[in-house]
Homo-oligomer: A and B are copies of this chain.
């Protein structure tokens, strides 16, 4: 086994360290010189690009268009919506000056005090305010609605404790911002985009998610309702993976955005916003990977198949290369991304370990004797199982195998979540079970006070009030007051 792999901490030893090791060793990202900001390395970025492409396609299929709004937001815009400013003011990077000048002491540059901005600008932590200030000019009548815009952008929140992909000061994301003539239409949009996120998570990331509504404590600052998809990581913790907000008329009121409805009456516009970010990379890594490295779903793997030749001399390599050439062409015709790694400065064992670490779903290895026998060795990354297959028809075999891997890792993650999801009826039981990790379905009286108490005493929060499943009422495990349905508690990232 290659040296690098030995240094990957095992999950059972320290799950958190395993994650950090893996992000670095698999060349996904690294810390930058700027506190809390990461560098997304080419291999990590290639996975993010595949996510982007698929999401962008799904947004366009549901009628959305892309646009771009400014990075900087006048400070006063933030104050317009009371909850919004409360939620974001404490983590804003503030631009106060627009020029540097040479230091009079002759060392480097200093901020030019004469270039002070009249009004400070903040780097967007999210763009509701600047966008609704823009929409004001776009909307006069019901004929201007709906507006269905999305933006791919970087945003910045000055977080105190950061972890690569999961919580970084700067992160990449998309933020959809829609404007509607009716409450019903806005609510429908918020749920529609939640479903798009859930479909993306399950079909492409192979990450099972629970769709639900956030409690008031966990709601987006400025939203009337926040819908969420929640995933369970291998350590039993929850990861909020995407949110879709019904904003009501809050931002329309804050920025005075009215329209003439069909009855010729002026009315405030209804809004939604929804976003997923590079945090999804964290969900992807933590859901499937193992002690040998990344496990990537074929749908998002930058390299889906790698072929490694095993040879003793140039003649053998030549023979293998000629045999492989039509197979590579066939795989590409199936739309499969394939790499033939005939680099001669690394031994096959080293290559095997490297591609395992990087989560390439299928590895083919072929030597001179294989060619004599008309066979090829196939290794599937998810199960780390090897088999010897017939060379003839190998392309369609691999195609089916990729589908099988995609299904298998989803099924595995789902089985894990189901095994770690329990129902609890007493707070005593809850306090004991929460230590084991996982999702706990329990009754809650619907008050922020009770949620606060539970959080303080157990570090668990309500991840969501599930949209699907059991809706039987009951009694709050803490106060005994009535509960409409069980909600999901967990410790979370």
Q: Which residues of A contact B (CB under 8 A)?
A: 30, 32-34, 37-42, 45-46, 49, 65-79, 85, 89-102, 108-109, 111, 120-123, 130, 133-134, 137, 143, 149, 153-154, 156, 158, 170, 172, 345
With a CB–CB cut-off of 8 A, which chain B residues contact A45? 65-68
Report Cα–Cα, A40/B30, bound state, in Å. 32
With a CB–CB cut-off of 8 A, which chain B residues contact A154? 71, 153-154
> Is the pair B89, A101 in contact by a Cβ cutoff of 8 Å?
yes
With a CB–CB cut-off of 8 A, which chain B residues contact A33? 70, 74, 77, 130, 133-134
A345 to chain B, nearest CB (A): 8
Identical copies in the complex: 2
With a CB–CB cut-off of 8 A, which chain B residues contact A97? 93-94, 96
> Is the pair B74, A34 in contact by a Cβ cutoff of 8 Å?
yes
Task: List 17 interface pairs A-B (beta carbons < 8 Å), by A numbering.
Answer: A32-B69, A34-B130, A38-B70, A39-B67, A42-B65, A71-B71, A71-B123, A72-B170, A79-B108, A89-B100, A90-B101, A91-B99, A92-B99, A93-B95, A93-B98, A96-B96, A100-B122
Q: Which of A76, A100, A101 has the most CB of B within 10 A?
A: A100
A111 to chain B, nearest CB (A): 5
Q: Select which of B49, B69, B101, B108 is within 8 A of A66 by beta carbon.
A: B49
With a CB–CB cut-off of 8 A, which chain B residues contact A89? 99-102, 109
Report Cα–Cα, A69/B37, bound state, in Å. 9
Name A69's closest neighbour in chain B (CB-CB): B39
A61 to chain B, nearest CB (A): 15
Known interface pairs A32-B70, A34-B72, A40-B68; A96-B98 also in contact (CB < 8 Å): no
A152 to chain B, nearest CB (A): 9
> Is the pair B130, A73 in contact by a Cβ cutoff of 8 Å?
no
With a CB–CB cut-off of 8 A, which chain B residues contact A37? 70-72
Name A90's closest neighbour in chain B (CB-CB): B99
With a CB–CB cut-off of 8 A, which chain B residues contact A156? 71-72
> Is the pair A121, B34 in contact by a Cβ cutoff of 8 Å?
yes
Report Cα–Cα, A45/B70, bound state, in Å. 13
With a CB–CB cut-off of 8 A, which chain B residues contact A39? 67-70, 134
A3 to chain B, nearest CB (A): 15
